Structure 1
Amino acid sequence: MKTNTSLAYDIPGKFEETRFEKNHNVIFENSVQGSKIVAQEIAELIRSKQANNESCVLGLATGSSPIKVYEELVRMHKEDGLSFYNVISFNLDEYYPMTKENRQSYHYFMHQYLFNHIDIKPENVNIPDGTVAIEELNQYCVDYELKIKQAGGLDFQLLGIGRTGHVGFNEPGSHINSGTRIITLDHITRVDASSDFNGIDNVPKRAITMGVSTILRSKRIVLMAWGQNKASIIKRTIQGEISSDVPATFLQNHTNATFVLDQFSASELTRFETPWLVGGCTWTQELKSKAIVWLCKETKQSILKLTDRDYNNNGMSDLLAQEGSAYDLNINMFNVLQHTITGWPGGKPNTDDSHRPERATPAQKRVILFSPHPDDDVISMGGTFSKLIKQGHDVHVVYQTSGNIAVTDDEALKFAEVAKDFLGDAETQINFKAVIDFLNSKSENQIDSLEVRRLKGLIRRRESYAATRYIGLKDENTHFLDLPFYETGQVKKNPLGPEDIAIVKDIIAKIKPHQVFAAGDLADPHGTHEVCLNAIFAAMKELKPEKYMDDCWLWLYRGAWHEWDIHEIDMAVPLSPSEVLLKRSAILYHQSQKDRVMFQGNDSREFWVRAEDRNKNTAILYDDLGLAEYEAIEAFKRFDY
């Protein structure tokens, strides 16, 4: 294994590497912590070069991964006096063809996040030119390589990683000796970029990229990856064999490369996924549950059929020795899972609740169901939503954002034209003629006008009313927050602000809930779920001194991308076949999101299909473990705020 010789990353011992890992890597609690450390290393390098009157040659990346690094470098420039006068930068890549003025260009990105805010000399900024004539491209790429060499080579290369394992735009099949060149983008890469371009048809099919050999010649490399959706490729990159099928694995050959990860992107590494295969464990209840569920899957047996030999042969002999016998382990685990199952998500009145996930009292609870977008409620917990209403609880659904960015121009135009035809020349709140004119003349990457955004938000709002009415909720219990952070008209949102938190805090204080359900799925491709969840955490923390918060429980559901693992589930709510159909129908009321999912992440299926398959798969897992067989199960995890 290669180890870095640059800035030390002081991480607790539990993050030490194992024999399974072939790259030096460190894991932080979140991307903010990791990004600050990376920015500090870059700043230290810049200053050390300045002290020796030398240029500092940086290889820079784009995408979501390095944004917080650039923000921290800008802060250090403005507040700590960090100067970039000696920095020469070379960007990894650029779409082709692509003008510099295009909002999706990497030229635009780098100036938006970094270059416009620091004192780097314009002549020292090098970004591949997406406007070079095709017949001149080969020579252009040769010259780009030569310019890097004349600058003294890359002192530091910052990287992200794509789901295909690409670094830069070196897609699967890229050779270790490849240099700067034009390349055809993988379909998965274009799918991942499609939401930024308002559809895959608008994503360029080619790009200019530094080659693998160009990157490997860097004196120092730091690759960053954040989020659950990067976990699978990170495991393949760090623990897999070197292969052009995953170009990032070529970094295993570098003597000074570090992977900087958060807990989510590192979650599938062996030391986190199955730590009992690495060495001795401290067997908490959560780890026991995780290990026994894994053992059932590994041996294809239900819990109560596991034997002493099964535990001994699969790295869990110390757990067996600690507990005494497979019989005791199996019974305890069976009971833990059995006690998560309930058809009464608000608690069952007049019953012993000592082995139930929710309290029996009060019998009728006030409930807030927070939904980041105007469909996450029914997608993620439509069946539970319906049960809570039918079982007499005072349920309030709270939509945190307008969701307008996810309505296509075609859908908005259709509604505007119908409204204009219906209303004639009547005065209305929305100038539909202006909306139609705007949409018909809208240029590439142009931000929607306020009128268009209002219309798109109203489309999502009316779809939400239709869905909640179908579920059985009263209109007065449906609330729309339209949190300000979201209202940029762009995929890129503003940071969470005090005004957002205050709005969430006010709705909680008004309802004084006994239960709060919130989206705990952080795999949302553009981070809206995470921002909305952080707003809830911040609001509930501020409200914690209030007496009514003593009796308020927070339950997290997962969205359209990932489900809780079985060992993480604290409440499993079974759904009957008719409840599955009810949930499907409620989701389908969100017609603007049907057929063309704008922010689908790494799953091309429609949201109702994903939700249904996920719920049915959870039920199958419970059945395989030897518990009752259900049509579908919605899962929740309790969170102590």
Structure 2
Amino acid sequence: MNYSLSYIEKTIEKLPINVVENQLVGAKIMAGIIADIIKKKQAEGKMAVLGLATGSSPIKIYQELVRLHKEEGLSFKNVITFNLDEYYPMSPEDAQSYVYFMHKHLFNHIDILPENVNIPDGSLKIEDVSAFCNAYEDKIDEVGGIDIQVLGIGRSGHIGFNEPGSTVNSTTRLVKLDSITISDAIKDFGDEKLVPHRAITMGVGTILKAKKIVLAGWGKGKSAILKEMIEGPVSPDVPASFLQLHKDVSVYLDAPATTEFTRTKAPWLVGVVEWTPKMVKRAVIWLSQKLDKPILKLTDDDYKKSGLRDLLVEYGGAYDLNIKIFSQLRDTITGWPGGKPGAYEKTRPERPEPSIKRSIVFSPHPDDDVISMGGTLIRLADQGHDVHVAYQTSGNIAVFDDDALRFSQFVVDLLDNQKVDSPEIAKANAELREFLKNKQPGQIDTPYVKAVKGLIRVGEAAAGCRYSGVKEENVHFLNLPFYETGQVEKSPASDADVQIVVDLLRKIQPHQIFAAGDLQDPHGTHEVCLQIIFKAIRKMRAEGDKWLDDCYMWLYRGAWQEWDVEDIEMAVPISPGELHRKRKAIFKHQSQKDEPVFPGEDKREFWQRAEERNRTTAEIYDQLGLTEYEAIEAFVRYPFDDEESFLK
């Protein structure tokens, strides 16, 4: 894609942004900037003053700083740090505290002097908070101010905990947290009732006094608020937009974080673009939606008035261009996700042969299969394909404690009812009851509790598969080791995780692989599970597995987002009856019914989210001029031979 970045920056983007290959690359760049400041101050015999942030965005920055310390000798003895914020009330010993976070990810691994570490104190009495905040401001001033401030951005638009409504001259103070911020914190605390509703934070004015500011923004989930920060006006409604007033700000983003930006959504509005087939398709769909006109009704004047005159020159007018894009969209639609036997049209998404395919659906959690592609799963089984489902993780942390108690007690009561004496089970149940009675926020479940919760998910997943027509012997529970930490934060994926997937794929040798391409799962499990599959496929290709030559891989998306229409390569229509069957398959996951443990910002049940998303996709196809369907499930094909291009 070619367009003038300088033109964009002057007209659309009001902050300088740097789009990096991935988070790791961005983190290394930002850590390098911090390291250079530390070294420069060392050479001058001065202290370097760092403003530090918490949350997921800066973790890789801290990991790189630790590496620089351990492998390249970067010393932090001349460093003073001031953290942006802390929950209130919050004990420094709590696992959810930012004191704990900073020591875990940075301070425990470097040679910084303890007396040079400054973090707001969430354990203060309320009457002492104001004086502490004033002293925090004074201490920053006494050391000469902050040399570089590291920031992330919250989905509410906050920097630090400066929520919407914060003023440009605000200083360190006690604040009330926004509902979005509280919702996002549930994953760390386990229950909304346990999330503090207040925090101590540096003010916007304090942040803007820093000599240099770097902000990290990763992932599609942050794209909408980043767009407001960068393209929108300076406003208290988006406190991060106040950064536009600073003279030395650098914003580092990965490509998904720019998906809502004008440079990505409609780059032809801000500069000259290279009209690739995908860009042409995007532009025509954009125009159709912008004017609320079906594609085949778009005119030459429509293109000219919307800044798309170049396309008319390229394609000789609206008529031929409209037909071309309409045909591409029409050819994505198929009622035969396993291929239609005897249908050899090259435009169909799937091959007709073999007429009965071995299909494997990878499900990161024990309900993603039916939530995300339940209609297609049922269709594959109805059409006679040999359908397998592989649940990659146990999903045991997403079960309420009370459900574990209920199921454990059920076993004891059943044994008593049948007059079966099992003192071991009775003892384990008693220990479970005692543990859950005294369980502290964030405390890891015992092995027995985790086993009970995992078996609840296993039973529900098996029931969903039976209802969907999947054979009992075709249901696989992989229990990948990376997930089994008992807490939201998982271990890094290992060779053991990859080998489990390799072994299953080699055993089945499927003609179709379906996998979750939804990388906006707020806990990151979907992305880890997808990367494990990618690594497994690379390993098998490197080792010469020939069956992969006759295998297609289709990526679906989950409860958190859907593919953009221009990206969809297979659209499976779902009838009203099939949508009802999909809903009933989702209902088999009773522990996730009514209210899941980790609902995210969207409080609706997963079946409601799924149906709304499927209906919206169908409505978009209808609005573009295609056949009107009740619902559509969408897929993108993953090209084994062009992986690098796809991932870009």
Which TM-score applies when normalising by structure 1?
0.97
- What does 1:143-158 correspond to in 2, within 5 Å? 143-158=135-150
Q: Is the 8 A contact 1:280 1:318 kept in 2?
A: no
Q: Which amino acid aligns with 1:193?
A: A
Residue 634 of structure 2 is matched in structure 1 by: 635
CA distance in 2 between partners of 1:299 and 1:428 (Å): 69
Separation in structure 1 between the aligned mates of residue 609 and residue 112 of structure 2, nearest angstrom? 47
Distance 1:419 1:332, change over 3 A: same
Q: Residue 265 of structure 1 aligns with which residue? A: 257
Amino acid at match of 1:500: D
1:246 is matched with which residue? 238
1:428-455 CA-to-partner distances (Å, cap 9, x unmatched) read 6792222121111112221111111111
**Equivalent of residue 306 in structure 1, options 285, 298, 304:** 298
Question: What letter corresponds to residue 251 of structure 1 in structure 2?
Answer: L
Match of 1:265, SS? Answer: helix
Q: What are the within-5 Å matches in structure 2 for residues 219-368 of structure 1?
A: 219-368=211-360
Q: Distance in 2 between matches of 1:307 and 1:489?
A: 58
| 1:15 CA drift (Å) | 6.0
The residue number in structure 2 matching 1:530 is 527
Distance 2:164 2:360 in 1: 46
Q: Which residue in the other structure is 1:397 paired with?
A: 389
For 2:529 and 2:474, locate their aligned partners in 1 and report how far apart those are by CA, in whole Å.
20
Q: Which letter does structure 2 place at the counterpart of 1:348?
A: K
Deviation at 1:566, TM superposition (A): 0.8
**In the alignment, residue 615 of structure 2 is paired with which amino acid?**
K
- The Cα of 1:29 is off from its aligned counterpart by 2.3
Secondary structure at the aligned position of 1:207 is classed as: strand
Contact 2:364/2:526, CA 8 A, preserved across alignment: yes
> How many Å apart are 1:357 and its aligned residue?
0.4
How far apart are 1:599 and its partner, in Å?
2.4
Question: SS of 1:604's equivalent?
Answer: coil
Aligned 8 A contact 1:501 1:538 in 2? yes
Compute the displacement of 1:265 (Å): 1.1
Instruction: For residues 307-359 of structure 1, give each alpha carbon's deviation from its aligned partner in whole angstroms, at most 9, with x where no partner exists.
Output: 00011111110011110010000100111001000000010011123110001
Shift of residue 598, structure 1, vs aligned partner: 2.5
Over 3 Å counting, the alpha-carbon distance change for 1:398 and 1:579 in structure 2 is same
After TM superposition, list the pairs within 5 Å mapping 1:203-218 onto structure 2: 203-218=195-210
Counterparts of 2:95 and 2:454 in 1: how far apart (Å)?
A: 23
User: Residue in 1 aligned with 2:450?
Assistant: 453
Post-superposition Cα deviations, 1:553-602, rounded to whole Å, max 9, x if no partner, equal 11000010110111110000001111000000000111111122232333
SS state of the match for residue 21, structure 1?
Answer: coil
Is the alpha carbon distance of 1:534 and 1:73 closer, same or farther for their aligned partners in structure 2, counting shifts above 3 Å? Answer: same
Matched, 1:69 2:65: no
Asked if 1:39 is matched to 2:31, the reply is yes
Deviations 1:408-466 (A, max 9, x none): 11221221222222224515679222212111111222111111111111111110001
Structure 1 counterpart of 2:474, from 466, 474, 477: 477
Q: Which residue of 2 aligns with 1:443?
A: 440
2:519 and 2:16 map into 1 onto residues whose CA distance is 26
Q: In structure 1, the residue corresponding to 2:256 is in which secondary structure?
A: coil
d(CA) in 2 for partners of 1:198, 1:92 = 23
| In 2: Cα distance, 1:71 partner to 1:408 partner | 33
User: Secondary structure of the residue that 1:234 maps to in structure 2?
Assistant: helix
Query: What secondary structure sits across from 1:224 in the alignment?
Result: strand
Instruction: Decide whether the 8 Å contact of 1:302 with 1:624 is kept in 2.
Output: yes
How many residue pairs get aligned? The number is 631
Matches within 5 A, 1:458-469: 458-469=455-466
**Given that residues 346 and 388 in structure 1 are in contact (C-alpha distance below 8 angstroms), is that contact kept between their aligned partners in structure 2?**
yes
1:376-427 CA distances to partner (integer Å, 9 max, x unpaired)?
A: 0000000100111111111110011110111111221221222222224515
Q: Distance in 2 between matches of 1:551 and 1:354?
A: 16
Q: Secondary structure at the residue paired with 2:470? A: coil
8 A Cα contact 2:54 2:98, kept in partner: yes
- CA deviation profile, 1:240-298 (whole Å, cap 9, x unmatched): 00000100000000000011111111111111110111122111111111111111111
Question: What SS does the aligned partner of 1:479 have?
Answer: strand
| Residue of structure 2 equivalent to 1:426 | 422
Long gaps (5+) in structure 1: 1-10
Q: Determine the C-alpha separation between the residues in 2 that align with 1:199 and 1:221.
A: 33
CA distance in 1, matches of 2:181, 2:134: 25
From 466, 485, 488, give the equivalent of 1:488. 485
Partner of 1:605: 604
Are 1:173 and 2:173 matched, yes or no? no
Distance 1:360 1:292, change over 3 A: same
Give 1:12 deviation, angstroms: 9.5
Query: 1:49-84, CA deviations, whole angstroms, 9 ceiling, x for partnerless residues?
Result: 111111110000000101111111111111111111
Farther-moved stretch of structure 1 (244-253 vs 407-416): 407-416
Instruction: Supply the distance in 2 between the matched residues of 1:272 and 1:132 (Cα, whole angstroms).
Output: 46
Q: Map 1:408-423; keep pairs closer than 5 Å.
A: 408-423=400-415
- Within-5 A mapping of 1:552-571: 552-571=551-570
Residue 250 of structure 1 aligns with an amino acid whose one-letter code is F
Identical residues among aligned pairs (%): 57
The residue type paired with residue 508 of structure 1 is L
Q: In structure 2, which of residues 79, 82, 92 is the aligned counterpart of residue 87 of structure 1?
A: 79
Tell me, what secondary structure is at the counterpart of 1:369? strand
Native 8 Å contact 2:442 2:487 kept in 1: no
Preserved CA contact (<8 Å) 1:199 1:598: yes
Determine if contact 2:4/2:272 at 8 Å carries over to the other structure. Answer: no
RMSD: 1.4
Partner AA of 2:422 in structure 1: A
Q: Is the 8 A contact 1:304 1:331 kept in 2?
A: yes
Q: Secondary structure at the match of 2:193?
A: helix
Tell me which residue corresponds to 1:582: 581
**TM-score by structure 2 length?**
0.96
Larger helix proportion, structure 1 or 2? 2
The letter for the 1-side match of 2:589 is H
Q: Which residue of 1 aligns with 2:613?
A: 614
Letter matched to residue 140 of structure 2: I
Moved more, 609-618 or 13-22: 13-22
Q: What's the counterpart of residue 511 of structure 1?
A: 508
Secondary structure at the counterpart of residue 350 of structure 1: coil
SS in 1 for 2:14: coil
Contact 1:623/1:629 (CA < 8 Å) preserved in 2? yes
1:162 and 2:159 are equivalent in the alignment: no
Partners of 1:211 and 1:306 in 2: how far apart? 50
Residue deviations 1:495-537, cap 9 Å, x none?
1111111111111111111110000010010100000000001
Q: Deviations over 1:73-106 (max 9, x none)?
A: 1111111111111110000000000001111000
User: In 1, distance between residues paired with 2:3 and 2:83?
Assistant: 35
CA spacing shift, 1:490–1:14, aligned 2, 3 Å: farther
Gaps of 5+ in 2: 641-648
Q: Is the 8 A contact 1:554 1:639 kept in 2?
A: yes
Residues 338 and 380, structure 2, Cα contact 8 Å, conserved in 1: yes
Helix, strand or coil at the partner of 1:194:
helix
Q: CA deviation at 1:199?
A: 1.2
Distance in 2 (alpha carbons) for counterparts of 1:567 and 1:443: 47
Shift of 1:180: 0.2
Q: For the Cα contact (< 8 Å) 1:231–1:267, is it kept in 2?
A: yes
Task: Out of 17-26 and 160-169, give the one that drifted further.
Answer: 17-26
**C-alpha separation in 2, matches of 1:220 and 1:408:** 45
- Partner of 2:188: helix, strand, or coil? coil
